[in-house]
Structure 1
């Protein structure tokens, strides 16, 4: 997936051309996914790109083209949940801070609420927008325990030093951690989003139940476990033990001289890079 742009290729399905049972099932599955994520993506225009947070309906707000940075005041938080199409840039700091970078008439539509210890980033209900300015929510955190994506927004972070981090991707958004140091890392993908990381994490646990990919061959780990029950692929780096399980067509590729424990049922495979 493209990590450098918010543009999303539209998914088109025409009921007129659905002549087989498989096509009908595909349309039904697509509708369920869109309903679950609350996201409807429209074709990009020359002026920007469209997305509707609550599906069909609602007035479309066109971005003004005037970019603003809007600070948000929030209670303390140590986890982040992204719902919708906003990109999120995370920076570890000595304090928590949130700011929205967007068109000046789009920024007020973006919600940043803390529920428990989780910062939830989304949009006001029945909101459809077409932006002219790339929409980014910048988040400073003192510590981070979890990242969740249920939409199409991407998450990036350059330098993180953490004790434990849980990542859950149930949409099409991607997570990229360019320099991670952690004792424990748990990643679960049930959508089409990808997870990419570099650095080191002593214990790593990965589970793929969709078509998303794990790209962690530059993230050194001692004890690594990978479970794939779908078509997603994983590349990892293990120096101690690697436990791999594939049910389906997914592949596990690994680097390092780890002791391998593997189980494969289907057309998938487990092999060294």
Structure 2
């Protein structure tokens, strides 16, 4: 009897899992609407879908979501312990006519984790610390003025940075390029383990570790340069 019950339970779970896996994605209906949400305060954002994300500092925590009317309800925006997570349920998916656009504002947000093909536009950043981590294919464009910048790229999207960071730490592990010539830094630590190229502008101290095939290009004439190269990539000075 126990064996029969176990087999029945296994089959029911299998059917449930198959239904979730085979569930058809919602197709965008072409009827675009805007919805405004007011979440609790957040200082970090994690996105797990293919929406385009636009951020600028503001006096309140606010989300403006522009998407097709049958897709809007599928996009979850939950805050837990200061982290805003943008996602869809595991058993749901959608195919949009045009990628949803999400505009965020917050007085204290300083971390972004991008895990999809959507782009990130983050401008007007002025803070002590700022972090961007990318594992997807979407591009990133950001203008900022910070004391410390941490950038981790594990995706294929290109990253463009402008402004000033007193200290910058750039880690590249994949094929995306990092263009930071328009970001002036006093000191910068660069670790390149991928095939993408990195361009930096450093005025005081540059430390470079190259383990992959991507090149590191630098300008700014830093008097202190430390390099460890075990890959095929090169450290190249630009005029």
TM-score bin, normalised by smaller chain: 0.7 to 0.9
Structure 2: unaligned runs, 5 residues or longer: 1-19
Select the structure of larger CA radius of gyration. Answer: 2
* 1:186-209 residue CA offsets vs partner (Å, 9 max, x unmatched): 011122233211011110000111
Distance 1:134 1:148 in 2: 18
Greater alpha carbon shift after TM alignment, 166-175 vs 113-122: 166-175
In structure 2, the residue matched to 1:269 is 234
Pair 1:147 & 2:112 matched: yes
Pair 1:218 & 2:173 matched: no
Structure 1: unaligned runs, 5 residues or longer: 1-54
Distance 1:152 1:260 in 2: 35
Distance 1:254 1:70 in 2: 44
Whether the 8 Å contact between 1:82 and 1:153 is mirrored in structure 2 is no
Q: How much does 1:215 deviate?
A: 0.9
Pair 1:123 & 2:88 matched: yes
In structure 2, the residue matched to 1:168 is 133
Cα RMSD over matched residues?
1.5
Greater alpha carbon shift after TM alignment, 75-84 vs 131-140: 131-140
Whether the 8 Å contact between 1:184 and 1:202 is mirrored in structure 2 is yes
Pair 1:137 & 2:99 matched: no
In structure 1, the residue matched to 2:67 is 102
- The 3-state SS of whatever aligns with 1:158 is strand
Distance 1:57 1:196 in 2: 38
Whether the 8 Å contact between 2:145 and 2:165 is mirrored in structure 1 is yes
Task: State the aligned residue count.
Answer: 218
Q: How much does 1:59 deviate?
A: 2.0
In structure 1, the residue matched to 2:157 is 193
Q: 1:68 aligns with which of 33, 38, 48?
A: 33
Q: Could you tell me the TM-score, scaled by structure 2's length?
A: 0.87
Distance 1:255 1:124 in 2: 45
